[in-house]
Amino acid sequence: MSRLFPGGLGPVPRALLVLMAGSLAFGWWQSRAPAVVPASAPGGAPAACVMPRIGAAPTPVQLATPPAMPPFQLDEHRATPRAGFAVEATVLSIERYRFGREAAVSPLDLALGWGPMADPAVYQSLDISQSGRWYHYRWGPEGPPLPLETIIANSSNMHMIPATPAIAQRLESLAEGRRVRLAGWLVDIETAEGYRWSTSLRRDDSGDGACEIVYVCEVAVLP
Protein backbone atom coordinates (compact mmCIF):
# COMPACT_ATOMS: atom_id res chain seq x y z
CA MET A 1 0.00 0.00 0.00
CA SER A 2 1.19 3.53 -0.67
CA ARG A 3 -0.01 6.59 1.16
CA LEU A 4 1.43 9.80 -0.27
CA PHE A 5 1.72 13.00 1.77
CA PRO A 6 2.81 15.89 -0.50
CA GLY A 7 3.95 18.98 1.36
CA GLY A 8 2.30 17.89 4.59
CA LEU A 9 -1.18 17.70 3.05
CA GLY A 10 -3.51 14.70 2.96
CA PRO A 11 -3.16 11.59 0.80
CA VAL A 12 -3.20 12.08 -2.96
CA PRO A 13 -5.28 9.73 -5.17
CA ARG A 14 -3.40 7.95 -7.93
CA ALA A 15 -3.85 8.82 -11.57
CA LEU A 16 -4.89 6.29 -14.20
CA LEU A 17 -2.16 4.31 -16.00
CA VAL A 18 -2.31 1.63 -18.67
CA LEU A 19 -1.85 -1.83 -17.11
CA MET A 20 1.18 -3.69 -18.37
CA ALA A 21 -0.31 -7.16 -18.59
CA GLY A 22 -2.12 -8.15 -21.76
CA SER A 23 -2.80 -10.97 -24.14
CA LEU A 24 0.56 -10.61 -25.88
CA ALA A 25 2.37 -10.76 -22.57
CA PHE A 26 0.40 -13.85 -21.64
CA GLY A 27 1.40 -15.59 -24.85
CA TRP A 28 5.02 -14.63 -24.28
CA TRP A 29 4.86 -15.96 -20.72
CA GLN A 30 3.44 -19.27 -21.85
CA SER A 31 6.16 -19.73 -24.49
CA ARG A 32 9.16 -19.18 -22.20
CA ALA A 33 11.32 -22.07 -21.01
CA PRO A 34 11.36 -22.67 -17.23
CA ALA A 35 14.24 -21.37 -15.18
CA VAL A 36 16.83 -23.86 -13.97
CA VAL A 37 15.56 -23.88 -10.39
CA PRO A 38 14.31 -27.42 -9.72
CA ALA A 39 12.18 -28.07 -6.65
CA SER A 40 15.01 -30.17 -5.18
CA ALA A 41 17.73 -27.58 -5.81
CA PRO A 42 20.47 -27.22 -3.16
CA GLY A 43 19.49 -24.64 -0.57
CA GLY A 44 15.85 -25.68 -0.64
CA ALA A 45 14.65 -23.64 -3.62
CA PRO A 46 10.86 -24.09 -3.54
CA ALA A 47 8.86 -25.54 -6.39
CA ALA A 48 7.07 -22.17 -6.73
CA CYS A 49 10.33 -20.70 -8.03
CA VAL A 50 10.35 -22.98 -11.06
CA MET A 51 9.16 -20.19 -13.29
CA PRO A 52 9.83 -18.61 -16.68
CA ARG A 53 12.71 -16.20 -16.86
CA ILE A 54 11.71 -12.58 -17.28
CA GLY A 55 14.28 -10.49 -19.10
CA ALA A 56 15.47 -6.96 -18.35
CA ALA A 57 12.62 -5.07 -16.74
CA PRO A 58 13.39 -1.34 -16.34
CA THR A 59 9.69 -0.83 -15.60
CA PRO A 60 7.51 -3.40 -13.80
CA VAL A 61 6.55 -6.43 -15.85
CA GLN A 62 3.39 -8.26 -14.81
CA LEU A 63 2.36 -11.42 -16.63
CA ALA A 64 -0.61 -13.74 -16.32
CA THR A 65 -0.19 -16.71 -14.01
CA PRO A 66 -0.08 -20.05 -15.88
CA PRO A 67 -3.39 -21.91 -15.42
CA ALA A 68 -1.65 -24.86 -13.78
CA MET A 69 0.10 -22.76 -11.14
CA PRO A 70 -1.35 -23.90 -7.78
CA PRO A 71 -1.37 -22.15 -4.39
CA PHE A 72 1.46 -23.14 -2.06
CA GLN A 73 2.01 -23.18 1.69
CA LEU A 74 4.20 -20.81 3.72
CA ASP A 75 3.95 -22.44 7.15
CA GLU A 76 0.37 -21.72 8.26
CA HIS A 77 -0.17 -19.27 5.38
CA ARG A 78 -1.33 -20.15 1.91
CA ALA A 79 0.02 -18.10 -0.99
CA THR A 80 -2.01 -17.84 -4.18
CA PRO A 81 0.00 -16.57 -7.18
CA ARG A 82 -1.84 -13.81 -9.03
CA ALA A 83 0.80 -12.79 -11.58
CA GLY A 84 4.42 -13.23 -12.54
CA PHE A 85 6.37 -10.10 -11.70
CA ALA A 86 9.77 -8.53 -12.28
CA VAL A 87 11.27 -5.06 -11.98
CA GLU A 88 14.60 -3.29 -12.02
CA ALA A 89 14.43 -0.31 -9.69
CA THR A 90 16.22 1.90 -7.20
CA VAL A 91 15.67 1.32 -3.49
CA LEU A 92 14.15 4.55 -2.18
CA SER A 93 13.57 3.35 1.38
CA ILE A 94 13.68 0.15 3.46
CA GLU A 95 11.56 -0.75 6.46
CA ARG A 96 11.96 -3.95 8.47
CA TYR A 97 9.16 -5.42 10.57
CA ARG A 98 9.51 -7.75 13.54
CA PHE A 99 6.00 -7.59 14.97
CA GLY A 100 2.48 -7.91 13.62
CA ARG A 101 0.74 -10.65 11.70
CA GLU A 102 2.21 -9.63 8.35
CA ALA A 103 5.78 -9.75 9.71
CA ALA A 104 5.50 -13.52 10.10
CA VAL A 105 5.41 -13.89 6.33
CA SER A 106 6.90 -10.58 5.08
CA PRO A 107 9.66 -9.16 7.29
CA LEU A 108 10.66 -6.31 5.00
CA ASP A 109 9.14 -3.64 2.76
CA LEU A 110 10.95 -1.88 -0.07
CA ALA A 111 9.87 1.46 -1.50
CA LEU A 112 11.09 1.23 -5.09
CA GLY A 113 11.43 3.77 -7.87
CA TRP A 114 11.86 3.17 -11.59
CA GLY A 115 11.85 5.34 -14.70
CA PRO A 116 12.19 9.01 -13.66
CA MET A 117 11.81 8.05 -9.99
CA ALA A 118 15.12 6.17 -10.23
CA ASP A 119 16.92 9.48 -10.87
CA PRO A 120 18.77 10.63 -7.71
CA ALA A 121 18.08 14.25 -8.63
CA VAL A 122 14.38 13.44 -8.34
CA TYR A 123 14.03 11.12 -5.35
CA GLN A 124 16.65 12.92 -3.25
CA SER A 125 14.53 16.08 -3.46
CA LEU A 126 11.70 14.21 -1.70
CA ASP A 127 11.44 13.28 1.97
CA ILE A 128 10.66 9.57 1.65
CA SER A 129 9.76 7.32 4.58
CA GLN A 130 7.85 4.17 5.49
CA SER A 131 5.85 3.11 8.53
CA GLY A 132 2.99 0.78 9.34
CA ARG A 133 3.36 -0.91 5.93
CA TRP A 134 2.78 2.42 4.19
CA TYR A 135 5.00 4.53 1.91
CA HIS A 136 5.09 8.31 2.42
CA TYR A 137 6.74 11.23 0.67
CA ARG A 138 6.82 14.98 1.14
CA TRP A 139 8.34 17.90 -0.69
CA GLY A 140 9.30 21.42 0.27
CA PRO A 141 7.90 24.82 -0.72
CA GLU A 142 9.44 24.48 -4.18
CA GLY A 143 6.87 21.83 -5.02
CA PRO A 144 7.24 18.29 -6.35
CA PRO A 145 10.13 17.50 -8.71
CA LEU A 146 7.77 15.73 -11.13
CA PRO A 147 4.03 15.81 -11.82
CA LEU A 148 2.18 13.80 -9.20
CA GLU A 149 0.93 11.27 -11.69
CA THR A 150 4.51 10.59 -12.79
CA ILE A 151 5.74 10.09 -9.22
CA ILE A 152 2.81 7.81 -8.46
CA ALA A 153 3.21 5.75 -11.63
CA ASN A 154 6.93 5.19 -11.12
CA SER A 155 7.22 4.25 -7.46
CA SER A 156 5.59 1.85 -5.04
CA ASN A 157 5.83 0.24 -1.63
CA MET A 158 6.22 -3.54 -1.93
CA HIS A 159 5.99 -6.23 0.74
CA MET A 160 8.81 -8.76 0.31
CA ILE A 161 8.32 -12.48 1.00
CA PRO A 162 11.70 -14.20 0.55
CA ALA A 163 11.48 -17.64 -1.06
CA THR A 164 14.63 -18.95 0.62
CA PRO A 165 16.97 -17.99 3.49
CA ALA A 166 19.58 -16.93 0.92
CA ILE A 167 17.12 -14.52 -0.70
CA ALA A 168 16.16 -13.23 2.76
CA GLN A 169 19.82 -12.43 3.40
CA ARG A 170 20.16 -10.63 0.07
CA LEU A 171 17.09 -8.54 0.81
CA GLU A 172 18.41 -7.72 4.29
CA SER A 173 21.72 -6.58 2.78
CA LEU A 174 20.15 -4.00 0.45
CA ALA A 175 20.80 -0.31 1.00
CA GLU A 176 18.95 2.82 -0.03
CA GLY A 177 20.10 4.16 -3.37
CA ARG A 178 21.08 0.75 -4.77
CA ARG A 179 19.65 -0.53 -8.03
CA VAL A 180 18.12 -3.97 -7.73
CA ARG A 181 16.40 -6.57 -9.84
CA LEU A 182 13.52 -8.53 -8.32
CA ALA A 183 11.55 -11.36 -9.88
CA GLY A 184 8.90 -13.70 -8.53
CA TRP A 185 5.15 -13.76 -8.05
CA LEU A 186 2.54 -11.32 -6.86
CA VAL A 187 0.57 -13.31 -4.30
CA ASP A 188 -2.46 -13.19 -2.03
CA ILE A 189 -1.93 -14.55 1.50
CA GLU A 190 -4.58 -16.28 3.59
CA THR A 191 -4.95 -18.66 6.51
CA ALA A 192 -7.47 -21.33 7.45
CA GLU A 193 -8.81 -18.97 10.14
CA GLY A 194 -9.97 -16.51 7.49
CA TYR A 195 -7.14 -13.97 7.53
CA ARG A 196 -6.49 -12.52 4.06
CA TRP A 197 -3.84 -10.12 2.72
CA SER A 198 -4.25 -9.23 -0.95
CA THR A 199 -1.71 -7.92 -3.41
CA SER A 200 -2.27 -5.01 -5.73
CA LEU A 201 -2.21 -5.87 -9.42
CA ARG A 202 -1.91 -2.24 -10.54
CA ARG A 203 0.79 0.41 -10.53
CA ASP A 204 -1.66 3.31 -10.53
CA ASP A 205 -3.37 2.86 -7.14
CA SER A 206 -2.72 4.25 -3.66
CA GLY A 207 -4.03 3.89 -0.15
CA ASP A 208 -5.07 0.76 1.67
CA GLY A 209 -4.45 -2.37 -0.41
CA ALA A 210 -2.30 -0.67 -3.03
CA CYS A 211 0.98 -2.43 -2.22
CA GLU A 212 2.36 -5.34 -4.14
CA ILE A 213 3.00 -8.52 -2.11
CA VAL A 214 6.00 -10.10 -3.83
CA TYR A 215 7.10 -13.68 -3.31
CA VAL A 216 10.72 -13.09 -4.27
CA CYS A 217 12.47 -15.86 -6.22
CA GLU A 218 15.29 -13.68 -7.52
CA VAL A 219 17.06 -10.61 -6.16
CA ALA A 220 20.28 -9.08 -7.45
CA VAL A 221 22.12 -5.80 -6.99
CA LEU A 222 22.75 -4.06 -10.32
CA PRO A 223 25.62 -1.76 -11.30
- Reported as a single tens digit per residue, the pLDDT across 3-34 is 443 333 334 444 333 333 333 333 333 333 33
Has residue 35 got a pLDDT over 60? no
Model pLDDT, residue 133: 94
Phi-psi region of 104 (alpha: psi -120 to 50; beta: other; left: phi over 0): alpha
Task: Report the relative pairing of strands 212-222 and 155-162 from DSSP bridges.
Answer: parallel
CA distances from residue 98 to 17, 78, 102 in whole angstroms, order as listed? 34, 20, 9
Alpha-carbon distance 25 to 83, whole Å?
A: 11
Q: Output phi, psi for 7, to 5 deg.
A: 55, 30
From residue 135, alpha-carbon distances to 4, 79, 108, 139, 180 in Å are: 7, 23, 13, 14, 18
> What is the Cα–Cα distance from 117 to 122, expressed in whole angstroms?
6
Could you give the 3-state DSSP secondary structure of residue 140? coil
pTM of structure: 0.81
Over residues 193-197, mean pLDDT: 96
